[in-house]
């Protein structure tokens, strides 16, 4: 791979193996001469490739007209000279202007197409980014916070630090952390516009002004390297198919000596008494259902391996069980109702399951709720917490 760094804010690179030419950062030259090296690199990339050249602009924050026209001129000339050449410009909704600006090129030159990579970039996206997921997130955090507030200091959370909550969902964790631990800075990032809109509304209603809610893609963040003392990513590694990519980004934005904190589940270990068998059957099926959509809700105990493989040291792992005895049993029941609605009502339907299967699947959730609300019942949902230190 060749890389040209024009300014600290701008990077251009070509990876010959994957035929990807990438532009990232802020590119605002006063004249074309300032970007001559990059233009030459694009020309060279075009000469080297066979078939398709991918132009990756997923992290291109800004580009002025001088640069845009200079790059586009080279691309158009190349397409006219070579009928075999195709160019796919890979944009992202996080830098939405790129889709608009490069989108016009296809009308001028059909050999150039634009793909918005994050419109369907992980298989479970349509469920997780939907508003129906909001009640799940709201009830879950309410239940887990009781445990996590005492666990978090062991994993490095303390007042005055800079932290990022990546895949923050509706941002409630960030609000709780801010109240309890007073970090100096909190960035909360997610790719669900519905969840972020909800988070911002809650923040406005409660007069919270110092959480930086950010729309972004966790696997291609625009945040700079080595910025945060503490990076959390809760219940999210398990729903994303490219887990190594996500961990690489969490590692990148963490300061050396800082910690990355992840929480994940092992759904097949959800339990309850009475009606244990029906409950067990349903949660085994939950794990299979998620795996059908490339999500791994059995990931919890694998956290240690994931963190070690991503290069972290001083890895700490612990687990806790959210139960109906933690507080109001109705809170527990609300979590399960929210799961039933989305897992049985939407995901199983999308998989094409039969009405008989869905009815049995629903029964296990109802039995879990029965166990939670029964005066002598017990219901549990286990969570694995793990963190690792980025070596100095
Ligand atoms: C199961 S939810 C967990 C949300 C929150 N951390 C919590 O515990 O309540 C997963 C979240 O990850 C977000 N997400 C998944 N992939 C993402 C990506 N590539 N970039 C940013 N957010 C992503 C989803 O939009 C969703 O809000």
**How many structural domains comprise the chain?**
2
Number of H helices, E strands in the chain: 14, 14
Q: Is the CB of 236 under 6 A from ligand 1?
A: yes
Query: Which residue is it, tokens 């729903």?
Result: 239
Residue with structure tokens 């078939």?
A: 51
Ligand 1 site, residue 383, Cβ cutoff 6 A: no
Q: How far is the CA of 134 from the centre of ligand 1 (A)?
A: 11
Same domain for 295 and 275, yes or no, is yes
Distance 260 CA to ligand 1 centre (A): 16
Say if residue 102 is in the same domain as residue 161: no
In this structure, what token pair is assigned to residue 290?
């998620």
Q: pLDDT of the chain along its 392 residues, tens only?
A: 555 444 558 899 999 988 999 999 999 999 999 999 999 999 999 999 999 999 999 999 999 999 999 999 999 999 999 999 999 999 998 998 998 889 889 989 999 999 988 877 777 777 788 787 788 888 899 899 999 999 999 999 999 999 999 999 999 999 999 999 999 999 999 999 989 999 998 888 778 888 999 999 999 999 999 999 999 999 999 998 889 999 999 999 999 999 999 999 999 999 999 999 999 999 999 999 999 999 999 999 999 999 999 999 999 999 999 999 998 999 999 999 999 999 999 999 999 999 999 999 999 999 999 999 999 999 999 999 999 999 99
Domain range enclosing 94: 2-119
Pair (24, 107) in one structural domain: yes
| DSSP 8-state assignment for residue 343 | I
Residue whose token pair is 């239940």: 143
| Cβ(220) – ligand 1 distance below 6 Å | no
Our answer on whether the CB atom of 217 is closer than 6 Å to any ligand 1 atom is yes
CA angle 333, 336, 121 (to 5 degrees): 150
Same domain, 234 and 358: yes
Q: Which of 88, 119, 150 is the last residue of a domain?
A: 119
Residues 32 and 179 in one domain: no
Question: What pLDDT score was predicted for residue 77?
Answer: 95
Pocket of ligand 1 contains residue 239 by CB under 6 Å:
yes
CA–CA separation, 324 and 368 (whole Å): 10
The CB density around residue 356, as the number of other CB atoms within 10 Å, is 8
Do 75 and 149 belong to one domain?
A: no
* E strand spans, 127-244: 162-166, 185-190, 211-215, 228-234
Final residue of a structural domain among 101, 119, 137:
119
How does strand 228-234 pair with strand 313-323?
Answer: unpaired
Say how many Å lie between the CA of residue 271 and the centre of ligand 1: 25
Q: Determine whether the shortest distance from the Cβ of 262 to ligand 1 is under 6 A.
A: no
| pLDDT of the residue at 171 | 93
pLDDT at 1: 54
Residue 118 tokens read as: 């994050």
Instruction: Return the structure tokens found at 176.
Output: 């709780």
Tell me, in angstroms, the distance from the centre of ligand 1 to residue 235's CA. Answer: 7
Burial 311-343 (b: 16+ CB within 10 A, else e): ebeebbeebbbbbbebeebebbbbbbbbbbbbb
DSSP 171: S
Q: What is the whole-number distance in angstroms between the Cα of residue 42 and the centre of ligand 1?
A: 35
The pLDDT assigned to 119 comes to 77
Same domain, 243 and 151: yes
- Claim to verify: residue 187 and residue 86 sit in the same structural domain: no
For residue 195, which atom of ligand 1 is closest to its CA? Answer: 27
Q: Cα of 167 to ligand 1 centre, how many Å?
A: 4
Q: What is the pLDDT of residue 139?
A: 85
Asked if 143 and 115 sit in the same domain, the reply is no
What pLDDT does 6 receive? 45
> Measured from the CA of 217, which atom of ligand 1 is nearest?
20
Q: Is the distance from the beta carbon of residue 190 to the nearest atom of ligand 1 less than 6 Å? A: yes
Residue with tokens 């233009």, as numbered in its chain: 39
Q: Is 242 helix (H, G, I), strand (E, B) or coil?
A: coil
Residue 89: which CATH number? 3.30.750.24
Q: Which atom of ligand 1 is nearest to the CA of 219?
A: 19
Q: Does residue 95 share a domain with residue 65?
A: yes
**CA of residue 140 to ligand 1 center, whole Å:** 13
Residue minimizing CA distance to atom 14 of ligand 1: 167
> Looking at the structure, do residues 132 and 83 belong to the same domain, yes or no?
no
Taking the centre of ligand 1 as the mean of its atom positions, its distance from the CA of residue 209, in whole angstroms, is: 22
- Specify the residue with its C-alpha closest to ligand 1, atom 25: 192
The tens digit of pLDDT for each residue in 214-267 reads: 999 999 999 999 999 999 999 999 998 889 999 999 999 999 999 999 999 999
Ligand 1 pocket member 218 (CB < 6 A): yes
Rg (CA), the chain: 24
334 and 212 within one domain: yes
- Which of 119, 134, 168 lies at the terminal end of a domain, its last residue? 119
CATH of the domain at 186: 3.40.50.150
What Å distances lie between residue 136 and 115, 129, 268, 336, CA to CA? 31, 12, 18, 8
């Amino acid at each position: 791979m060749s890389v040209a760094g024009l300014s600290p804010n701008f990077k251009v690179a070509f990876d010959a193996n994957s035929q990807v030419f990438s532009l990232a950062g802020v590119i605002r030259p006063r004249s074309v001469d300032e970007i001559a090296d990059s233009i030459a690199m694009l020309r060279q990339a075009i000469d080297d490739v066979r078939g398709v050249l991918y132009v990756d602009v997923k992290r291109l924050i800004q580009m002025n007209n001088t640069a845009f026209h200079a790059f586009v001129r080279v691309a158009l000339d190349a397409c006219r000279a070579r009928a075999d050449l195709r160019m796919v410009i890979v944009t992202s909704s996080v830098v939405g202007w790129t889709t608009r600006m490069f989108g016009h090129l296809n009308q001028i030159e059909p050999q150039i197409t634009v793909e918005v990579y994050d419109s369907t970039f992980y298989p479970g996206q349509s469920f997780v980014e939907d508003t129906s997921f909001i009640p799940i997130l709201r009830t879950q955090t309410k239940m887990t916070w009781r445990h996590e507030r005492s666990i978090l200091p062991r994993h490095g959370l303390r007042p005055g630090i800079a932290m990022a909550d990546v895949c923050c969902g509706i941002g409630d964790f960030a609000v709780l952390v801010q109240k309890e631990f007073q970090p100096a800075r909190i960035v909360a990032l997610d790719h669900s516009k519905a969840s972020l809109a909800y988070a911002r509304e809650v923040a406005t209603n409660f007069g919270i002004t110092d959480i930086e809610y950010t729309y972004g893609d966790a696997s291609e963040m625009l945040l700079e390297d080595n910025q945060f003392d503490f990076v959390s990513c809760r219940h999210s590694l398990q729903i994303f198919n490219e887990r190594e990519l996500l961990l690489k980004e969490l590692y990148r934005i963490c300061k050396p000596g800082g910690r990355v904190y992840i929480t994940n589940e092992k759904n097949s270990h959800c339990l309850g008494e009475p009606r244990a068998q029906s409950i067990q059957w349903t949660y085994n099926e939950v794990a299979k259902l998620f795996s059908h959509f490339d999500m791994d809700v059995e990931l919890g105990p694998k956290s240690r391996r994931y963190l070690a493989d991503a290069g972290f040291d001083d890895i700490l792992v612990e687990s806790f069980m959210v139960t109906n005895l933690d507080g109001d049993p109705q809170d527990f029941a609300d979590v399960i109702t929210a799961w039933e609605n989305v897992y049985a009502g939407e995901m199983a339907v999308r998989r094409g399951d039969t009405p008989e299967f869905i009815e049995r699947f629903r029964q296990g959730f109802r039995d879990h709720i029965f166990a939670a609300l029964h005066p002598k019942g017990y219901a549990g949902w286990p969570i694995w917490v793990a963190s690792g230190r980025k070596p100095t």
